[in-house]
Amino acid sequence: MLTIIVLLVVGSALAYISKFNIMPVTVNFGRYAVTDVPLFYVIIGSVTVGLVVSYLFYLVNAIATSLKLRGKDQEIKKHKNIVLSLTKRVHQLELEHEKQKTDASFEPSDENAL
């Protein structure tokens, strides 16, 4: 419904512009010139080109942002895996600690000791 309303407003604006801006003008493109072009075509063309250029800038920005977020997601996954492995190691150490507390006759040994 919003699209229909926007299209009606834009169409009304274009009809208003075309009603009062019908005088022919000459448009120069560098060395080339186009004569007897109605002024409202020039206005509509300028607005359209402006919208296309701004959309292209938006698209480049969106792609750059997407690539940044993708890199951040990969970094988050890597750090989550590190946290998971550290959590497992802490759990193992807690279990060993509980075994040492319950078994009084257990003497800690260091396999790397001389």
What is the structure's pLDDT at 110? 63
Q: State the distance between the two ends of the chain, measured CA to CA, in whole angstroms.
A: 82
Distances (CA, A) of 8 to 18, 50, 86: 15, 21, 61
What is the structure's pLDDT at 104? 58
What is the structure's pLDDT at 40? 87
What is the structure's pLDDT at 107? 61
What is the structure's pLDDT at 79? 93
What pairs with residue 34 in β-bridges?
A: 27
Task: For residues 35 and 92, give the distance between their C-alpha atoms in angstroms, rounded to a whole number.
Answer: 84
Distances (CA, A) of 101 to 66, 92, 98: 52, 14, 5
Task: For residues 79 and 74, give the distance between their C-alpha atoms in angstroms, rounded to a whole number.
Answer: 9
Task: For residues 36 and 22, give the distance between their C-alpha atoms in angstroms, rounded to a whole number.
Answer: 10
Query: 3-state DSSP call for residue 30?
Result: coil
Residue numbers in the chain where pLDDT is lower than 50: 114
Query: 3-state DSSP call for residue 63?
Result: helix
Query: What are the residue ranges spanned by the domains of the chain?
Result: 7-100
What is the structure's pLDDT at 55? 96
Report pTM.
0.58
